[in-house]
Amino acid sequence: MVNAALFCLYSYFAHSNFLLPQLFLYFFEKLQVVFFLEPVTGMRQAVGMLDFSPIDYKAELNEEQFAAVTAPPGPALVLAGAGSGKTRTLTYRVAYLMLEKRVSPQNILLLTFTNKAAREMIQRVMELTGAQYPPSYGGTFHSIGGRLLRRFGRSVGIEPNYNILDQGDAEALMSSIIKELDPGYLKNKDNPKPNVVSSIISYSINTDTALREVVRQRYPWGDAALTGRFEKFAKVYRERKLQLQVADYDDLLYYWLKMLKEDEETRNYLREKFQYILVDEYQDTNIMQSEIIDLIGHHHNIMAVGDDAQCIYTWRGAVFENIRAFPDRHPGTRIYKIVRNYRSSPQILSLANKVLEAQPATAGYFKELVAAKEDNLTPYVVPLLDSVQQGQFLAQRIQGLYDEGYALKDIAVLYRAHYQAVDAQLELTRAGVPFVITSGVRFFEQAHIRDFIAQLRVINNPSDKPAFERLLGLLPRVGPATVEKILKAADLEREKARRANISAEDTLFETAPTEAGDIFSALLKPTVVAKVPADAKADFKQLAQTLCELNELFEDGRSRTSAARLVQRGIDGWYGDYILTAYSNGEERREDLEGLINFAEKFDTLSEFLSQVVLLNSETSNRSVDPDEDTVRMTTVHQAKGLEYPVVFVLGCAEDLFPLKRAVESGSVDEERRLFYVAVTRAMDQLYLCFPMMNKTRGGAIRTEPSRFLTELPPDCYEKVGFRPTRY
């Protein structure tokens, strides 16, 4: 009961905090810089750079960094510890290649894991070089893969107008396939749910492990029949996606790799094009990603940057063996170690080093980071009664820090999982400390955005049935079954129209080759409308009308503003009215859609726009946080990777919370420890490790032990402090 209430509150905060239009605009503007700028000619680039003052590499980099930045061609492995200036090294390297080696940005492939990292790096490269255009192939593995497939994917069955499914879409598709193939499957509650099936199949692809094997690991009790069913689901899922011309996240890598393996022409073209390959966070690459890099990087001109101590994505297939085996796969690899740390105080660093020391000695490249900063405070360990008191401590200490002169935006609160921060959020709110949660519901993931986007998805790719389902399902009394009927009827009409057109051409051959019977105009045919339930008929007609208009507009022109114009037209159409009646805060949501117009303006084609909407879908709202806004930042450790803050609080340093119970049970304590390492190395001056002694569970509170990550530490590397709440 109480829990439910907390969740409501939590959700409320998660939603109310950042959906202010101003922040939105900020967000959209930020994005504009980076994505999809047209490649430019080398000439323009060169001219752009001439009037820019040269970089003094020696002065701006330390020795270790300098060596890596100015490395000769050939394979290079840069082992850059936390806070050692990894991004700096990488960006200077790109600048060095462009300015000193006169490499055209078109010949550089810069791969990262997150959109945020890509954005920051490209931004900095542009600042450094004074270039107006960034490397046109800089971005996440997934977004680059998606773009290359759009252009070259035909050989592996991907048409240029394919749509990308986000995780939710993918799971929905899986679910409908399971229902269709094996209606009895879902009846048995012991069977893994569709989303679990989806994740198992995904894991099998990302690790290149037979499905059989993954099922055996995760479901030791599962029998051969279960495995057989999974294999069937996976097979049909793969076929269906090709039929519908949709691709999930994994496909962006899977088909990219397939294309490189099978399509010699494209492979050679890309090898020729990408003379210089740079990879960030190499320790988090999975097997497909490393293969992709090796295939394109036939010339071995690859710079891989990473830190095996920070590998925290094995759960989605990352293998840090990749980083260890890099020199084997690329003979003549030069290894550059960067261990001088400019971020953290010596005290924090020594604690971080101890965290790694507790790691079983299973090799790895480095270890000790060397402090460059002055002495500062010893990290604190703060035992607290429970998570409520933890929140009170947080609020009180933050107010103290504020009085001491720290800006709130210099303070970060990190936790293992989002739900662990609920009480802290309540207490901060109660104390009037402003904060932003950099997680929770994502902008593009909100129902109304996805519904609206579904219209554009079907326009871009009429075979995208899941999008049709989503869209038509909005109408009253229309569910999957009715959608099926409607689409069938529409298909018939389209077929009829097509035949009529062909025969017309046969007889009168001057007949204009009108786009014979598209699915959208077919929707308006009486036989189709007849399938729509009475309550929904009016809405349906308007929706179909809007789709026809959108389609016409789309077919008409692929002018520069087409994506934005389509969005505008969509808002003017049926959905714009629908949204006002469908939601109590319809006005607000409509404004969100208006925001989409600005965003869409940055894209040439609808396909590109849709891709980015999906790929940024995973981009959480924290990227929309105005960096100047003075609020405390609350985020998961995963999301904090790559960031730094003067003051860091780590919540829930207790067994079962961090390391998370589930992780311990599945035997991934080492990864949890690396994650803890990532958490503590975010801190620059002050680090607070909070340990709640009670853990609320369903039914009651149980006593918790301090996290093994605390007890593993020698007591002299932290100071224990007590906390007495001033009020209840």
Give the footprint of DNA on this chain (CB under 7 A). 3-4, 7-8, 11, 15, 113-116, 140-143, 167-168, 171, 175, 186, 189, 193-195, 249-250, 312, 315-316, 416-419, 439, 441, 446-447, 476-483, 615, 618-620, 636, 638-639, 660, 662-663, 666, 698
Closer by beta carbon to DNA, 119 or else 565: 119
Closest approach, Cβ 94 to DNA, in A, equals 20
- Alpha carbon distances (Å) from 346 to 342, 371, 463, 679: 10, 5, 59, 16
Tokens of 481: 């079954």
Please calculate the CA angle 87-92-96 and round it to the nearest 5 degrees. 155
Closest approach, Cβ 450 to DNA, in A, equals 9
Question: What span, in angstroms and rounded, lies between the C-alpha atoms of 477 and 495?
Answer: 27
Closer by beta carbon to DNA, 175 or else 463: 175
108 closest CA partner among 127, 88, 126, 85: 126
Read off φ and ψ for residue 375, nearest 5 degrees. -60, 150
Closest approach, Cβ 568 to DNA, in A, equals 24
Closer by beta carbon to DNA, 1 or else 361: 1
Closer by beta carbon to DNA, 322 or else 639: 639
Closer by beta carbon to DNA, 334 or else 485: 485
Closest approach, Cβ 55 to DNA, in A, equals 30
Indicate the length of the chain as a whole number: 728
Closer by beta carbon to DNA, 536 or else 567: 536
The gap from C-alpha 648 to its chain's centroid, in whole angstroms, comes to 24
Tokens of 446: 């909100």
Q: Is 275 helix (H, G, I), strand (E, B) or coil?
A: coil
The gap from C-alpha 37 to its chain's centroid, in whole angstroms, comes to 20
Closer by beta carbon to DNA, 269 or else 419: 419
Whether the CB-CB separation of 322 and 283 falls below 8 Å is answered with yes
Closer by beta carbon to DNA, 212 or else 638: 638
Specify the DSSP class assigned to residue 70: T
Closer by beta carbon to DNA, 58 or else 662: 662
Closest approach, Cβ 315 to DNA, in A, equals 4
Specify the DSSP class assigned to residue 358: T
Closest approach, Cβ 149 to DNA, in A, equals 14
The pairing of strands 645-650 and 411-415 is parallel
Closest approach, Cβ 41 to DNA, in A, equals 29
Closest approach, Cβ 649 to DNA, in A, equals 17
Closest approach, Cβ 458 to DNA, in A, equals 18
Q: List, in sequence order, every residue forming a beta bridge with 104; answer none if it has no partner.
A: none
Closest approach, Cβ 411 to DNA, in A, equals 19
DSSP line for 642-659: T--EEEEEE---BTBBTT
Residues 6+ apart with CB under 8 A from 456: 550, 566, 567, 570, 606, 609, 610
543 closest CA partner among 564, 573, 514, 519: 573
**Kind plus residue range of the DSSP H or E element containing 117:** helix 115-129
Closer by beta carbon to DNA, 418 or else 590: 418
Closest approach, Cβ 415 to DNA, in A, equals 9
Question: What span, in angstroms and rounded, lies between the C-alpha atoms of 436 and 423?
Answer: 15
Tokens of 217: 């690991």
Closer by beta carbon to DNA, 227 or else 611: 611
Whether the CB-CB separation of 206 and 288 falls below 8 Å is answered with yes
